Structure 1
Amino acid sequence: MNKYRNNFQFNKTNRSLSVAIGLFALSFSCFFFGNVSVAYGERIKDITSIQGVRSNQLVGYGLVVGLSGTGDQTNQAPFTGQTFLSMLQRFDIVLPQDTRLQLNNVAAVAVHAELPAFSKPGQKIDITVSSLGNAQSLRGGSLIMTPLKGVDGQVYAIAQGNLVVGGLGVEGADGSRVTVNVPSVGRIPDGAMVEREVPTQFAGGEPVVLNLHHPDFTTAKRIADAINFMLGPDTAAAQDSTSIRVRAPLKPEHKVNFISLLENIEVDPGEAPARVVINSRTGTIVVGQHVTVDPVAITHGSLTVAIQEAPEVSQPNALGGGETVVVPQTDITVDEEQNPMFKFAPGSTLDDIVRAVNAVGAAPGDLMAILEALKQAGALKAELIVI
């Protein structure tokens, strides 16, 4: 095995030759000896990203035309009329100054898209179109040519096409209205064409840096160890809990082969820290595997007080000359639920917690209160996160 490891060590004087020999030796060893990665591990490509290889956000402003009377009301959205007039001026069409536009079939929209890494001019990307004014629906409309700009103000794509709208809105003459989903937002598959390439540092001579999606020192060390085992000592080194620095070939074509090999190495990630996540809106509770509880006794019950008014009519004696009056009558009942106290032993695990809570029939709301009380008492050995 040492012979194969030595074949992967990069020679400073002839890096290209050493990479070719290393790739051949690795293919040979994997063919005969199988995969040397940890069983049930995760690929590096699934838990990391390459620094500098990222997508970019694009945004633009344009007009959707051809609507069936569901566009912007220009008296309430004046920017729609201004944009329409500007478009006409570009085609040498000038309207009188006192012209009042009623453009029920036009809507001002915002267009946004995500430009993937390494996108080249001529490729197409999907776009999303959203109404900016008071348009009731964009169904049946067409987006006219709209430039999409990046954060630097440069145009990177041009958008145009017919919208696909999943929502539906119908309104009657009496004001009744039925709306299904959101008719003011639509998409155009392949609706924008890339016009400019975003420069990256991938083709440069800098080392490759892998960034973990979820920072963890243990996972970062295991990734570096796995790469060094496959490609030779000192090939990779963990910089911190997020970044792993990897030596890579200088030529772009060799670097592509190297990254392809690198991202398919399997690694056993470090175990997640002990956490309890509570969603207060939906009542969802997720308890991590390594959550433990110190010795503690818990009782949880509910007290219900019901007050009911039952007024009675008092009818006086006919000979007494009195008046008929209503006499208030109040009934108060108190119902206190009797729940047994349950106790956690030292080092109780997730199974013990679930079993104890199910035994008393605690609802999600009750379990939230129990977990919060355990955290305040210092008995819950986990991070409590409320989302």
Structure 2
Amino acid sequence: MTRVDVVVIGGGIVGLMTAWHLAREGARVVLLEAGDLGAQASGANAGSLHLQIQYPEFAKYGEDWARAYAPTLRFLEASIAMWQGLGAEVGEDLDVRLGGGIVVARDPDQMRLIEAKARIEASVGIETQILDRDALRAIAPYLSDKAIGGGFCAGEGKANPLRATPAIARAAEAAGATLHADAPVMGLEGRAGAFVVTTPNGSFQADTVVNAAGAKAAKIAAMLGMQIDLGGFPLQVTVTEPIAPLIPHLVYSAAGKLSLKQAANGGCIIGGGWSADVRSHGGLATNPVNFSGNMAMAAGVVPRLAQARTIRSWTAWVNGTPDWRPIIGQAPGIPGFYLALFPWVGFTAGPMTARVIADQVLGHAPAIDLGGISVLAD
């Protein structure tokens, strides 16, 4: 039995950054990751930095849902600001670029929804500029001539997940955190000041436990009798061969599921929430039908991509909740047990999620008020 101050469960960006912040403040921290550090959603996502309300969900769930979700945009904005300075803190260029994001419309009904969405975003201080056909072509001449307009949010962009997670892990270790890969949590019991976390390689006693386990977080919470409405969703992403600089923006389509950006090496990263297949043993595989649909959607929005060869597709489990709202804070009725879960766009929200949780564990005033953002603050 190893005695520590805090056990952090989950070795993605949120878990690693939480351990880093706590260790810098002098806490004895152990991080437990079931597999490789950053090998799940934090390292396998498409690297988008989102700030807008996602168009497909707005179209599906409507304005009431969007108004309830809108306060989270302030959290995402603050987290993106942290992304901009993170590379300097960890001593690594994380390829953070804020070229802005465009939701592209092909018909008037889609434009009306983009305009309605922009009004709700503006209510929490996030500006989305409405562009007609000519204004859209002026800033994005690479788009299909079928585009009639769109919404442009200057605060969106991208980062490189393959660089971010290892760099944060190195920073956490340098600060004094102990990181254990291949250490799945088999058991969790106890109370504040005397939690016991069991792994195949040994057990840990801790005053505090932080659940940053992403898609597996509900299983961890259930060990302490807490039920949370969060699940894992298998998604896939594809990258093309490098092409000449073409797309400086994060591009979405109002006609279907799409997120598209061009990486620093010229490869175009294509995703947008298309499902992967789950194999019988629980592993994931690219779904060829969804792959074709995703590529067709991308080529329909940016015709030049029809001539670009794809070179790799990959998959990842992403955590999600039905209402999209974060679950961040101390668990009700379980003192000392904290949840650090930002569904669907957790890569964007990672830095601020970690900062807020570390603040709460340390007894500091949180960096941002969670009222109206986390379901635990309602």
* Shorter-chain TM-score above 0.5: no
- Considering fraction of residues, name the structure with more helix: 2
- Shorter-chain TM-score tier: under 0.3
Ranked by relative contact order (alpha carbons within 8 Å, sequence separation 6 or more), the top structure is: 2
TM-score (norm. length: structure 2): 0.20
- Considering fraction of residues, name the structure with more strand: 1
Larger radius of gyration: 1
TM-score (norm. length: structure 1): 0.20
